[in-house]
Structure 1
Amino acid sequence: MSIISRRSVLITGIGGIAALAGAGTAYGLVQADVLPGRYRLAPYLGKCGTMPPLPKAAPGSVEQVRFSASGGTARVVIGYPVGVTKNLPVVVMLHGSDGDARTPFDVYGVQYFLADAVRRGATPFAVAAIDDWADARWRPSPVLTRDLLPFLRDHGLSTTRIGVLGWSIGGRGALLLASALGAGRVAAVAAASPALTRSDDAALPPALAGIPASLTCGRDDPFAAPTRDLLARLRAAGRAEATGGIHAGCHDAAFRRRMLPDQVAFLARHLSRA
């Protein structure tokens, strides 16, 4: 019995060590993206970070308007710097797949970041977000150029050259919209956590020629690799400023809010030259 017991203990011990070693190997393979699950594990490993606080700046007004669009009406939410609502350049903001026109203001607090940037000397601009900006394939709908931009112009904003900002699938949409309008209409484009495809990395650089771009993505975001590749291609082309990078974080609102101060400053800087 003693021999069997010692043997059993020895075998059990070896099995436990092997299991631990196997777990460590599996964890390494997950982190290297050889095995799936890295992005699901990231929040539990503390890699995503928390939602940062809003700047301590009194925001300007936020206006919600319905306007005529082909086939009916559409809702736009417009945020302004403190004390100014007319003759401002405008940034068109594209929400993610689970958002709407209010998300940039209610979740991300973009009006606070705008107020803080202007307080620090940035060029004032307005921000405008619209519901249902995408078509069935999550590409920019004609409603943006056919209806929204003319409405914003008639509403007293300058749309000669605009900025574009988006997050997640809206980040990809922002890059597609900028590429469709070209450098003559777009002063700068910023995208955080853009839901890019591998084909985008090849198609977007020539289409974005001449447009300053800011691309940021979390290190533990499934879109980190295509974002890194697109940014590298834009920098290699050297046609316009290409800034941003891959930072600690995940595919979530906390990461995108952390990116907002730099994105707002980047857009303001280029809109000042529009």
Structure 2
Amino acid sequence: MSGSRPRPGLSRRGLLVAGGAVAGVAVAGALGVEEEVLPGRGWLHRTLGLDGPDGTVPDVPPGPLTSGSFVSPARLGQRVGWSIALPPDAPDHLPVAVVLHGRGGDHTSAFAPDYLALGSFLAAAVAAGSSPYALASVDGGEAYWHPRANGDDPQKMVLQEFLPLLTRHGLDTRRLGFLGWSMGGFGSLHLAGTLGARRVAGVAVMSPALWHDYADTAPGAYDDARDFAAVEVMTRRSDLDGIALRVDCGEEDPFYASTRDYVAGFAERPAGGFEPGDHDIGYWRRRAPREVAFLGRALAG
């Protein structure tokens, strides 16, 4: 076929050399991606099946789940949903870990069977010997769990409205845990640091949404550079002094590099670590057993 003929002036040897050069570029590109010189490491690992197995929900029935809503003055009068998950046969006055969802989620994300199903992970942890405690989630919208210029203040909602609600439901809120992923991972670090060790026993985060600079942030995550500077956690590690800390992030996650830098900045390395995994439910389910057990130990202490 005419389409298979080499162009005039291009010899067979030239074709071989050109082909070798293309292959060399492809290999160099792959190595560059692997070393994070070029973008696309997560895509490459997903394509090659190198981002690790998806976690599975334990075959353990969850305990009672109570849900409701309230009108939140702190969130501009919005109706805010919430859920409280208890382990099976739970005693009264349990300590509680507040669960902060990622961007695009809501209070149901933590416990929905087709999402994180944390009620089952909690039940499995307690059955395996963890001290019992409650998990409680609440709607935070997409304001990144801090006060915004438009008046929406999910931080105030959690601290001044949701925690008293948990107390009224018989939970012990004198010392708390925080658990979050993505946007909620940032929020957990931020709120735990805001309250400090006198109020927070432990915080466990997966794939926290962390950036070094405002210019790198996702659209809408912060109002402006001043807003970012007021609440960023990368330079405020000392706010977590005395709080048990666990940080997990997948190596294919877009926040891997910044989370790695965040962890490296602690004098004493936090629990958790890095392994193959992406910014997705499969990875978060894989880490959930350790996150839930970690908070059980922290709250028991």
TM-score for both structures, normalised by structure 1: 0.90
In the alignment, residue 300 of structure 2 is paired with which amino acid?
A: S
1:264 match? 292
Instruction: Tell me how many residue pairs correspond in the alignment.
Output: 265
Equivalent position to 2:280, from 243, 252, 261: 252
In the alignment, residue 298 of structure 2 is paired with which amino acid?
A: H
8 A Cα contact 1:89 1:157, kept in partner: yes
2:218 match? none
In the alignment, residue 241 of structure 2 is paired with which amino acid?
A: A
1:88 match? 94
CA distance, structure 1, for counterparts of residue 278 and residue 24 of structure 2: 28
Q: How far did residue 68 of structure 1 move? A: 4.0
Equivalent position to 1:206, from 232, 238, 242: 238
CA distance, structure 2, for counterparts of residue 72 and residue 246 of structure 1: 38
CA deviations over 1:49-83 (Å, ceiling 9, x no partner): 34222112121011211134222532101111002
SS in 2 for 1:203: coil
Q: How far did residue 42 of structure 1 move? A: 2.5
More helix by share: 1
Equivalent position to 1:102, from 87, 90, 108: 108
Indicate whether 1:119 and 2:127 are aligned. Answer: yes
8 A Cα contact 2:155 2:191, kept in partner: no
CA deviations over 1:139-198 (Å, ceiling 9, x no partner): 352100010000000111111111000001110110001000110111100011011122
Q: How far did residue 248 of structure 1 move? A: 1.4
Q: What fraction of aligned residue pairs are identical, expressed as a percent?
A: 38
Moved more, 8-17 or 166-175: 8-17
Q: How far did residue 34 of structure 1 move? A: 1.4
Equivalent position to 2:210, from 196, 207, 221: 196
Q: 1:117 to 1:89 in 2, by over 3 A?
A: same
In the alignment, residue 252 of structure 2 is paired with which amino acid?
A: D
Moved more, 145-154 or 54-63: 54-63
1:92-241 equivalence runs, <5 A: 92-106=98-112, 107-132=115-140, 135=143, 138-139=145-146, 141-198=155-212, 200=232, 202-234=234-266, 236=267, 238=268
In the alignment, residue 94 of structure 2 is paired with which amino acid?
A: L
Q: 1:247 to 1:268 in 2, by over 3 A?
A: same
CA deviations over 1:222-249 (Å, ceiling 9, x no partner): 2122222222322x1x4xx821111111
SS in 2 for 1:161: strand
Any unmatched runs of 5+ in structure 1? none
CA distance, structure 1, for counterparts of residue 234 and residue 57 of structure 2: 36
Indicate whether 1:67 and 2:67 are aligned. Answer: no
1:8 match? 11
CA distance, structure 1, for counterparts of residue 194 and residue 141 of structure 2: 15
RMSD: 2.0
CA deviations over 1:14-70 (Å, ceiling 9, x no partner): 111111111111111122221222223231121223422211212101121113422
CA distance, structure 2, for counterparts of residue 204 and residue 198 of structure 1: 12
CA distance, structure 2, for counterparts of residue 35 and residue 176 of structure 1: 31
SS in 2 for 1:81: coil
In the alignment, residue 66 of structure 1 is paired with which amino acid?
A: S
In the alignment, residue 129 of structure 1 is paired with which amino acid?
A: S
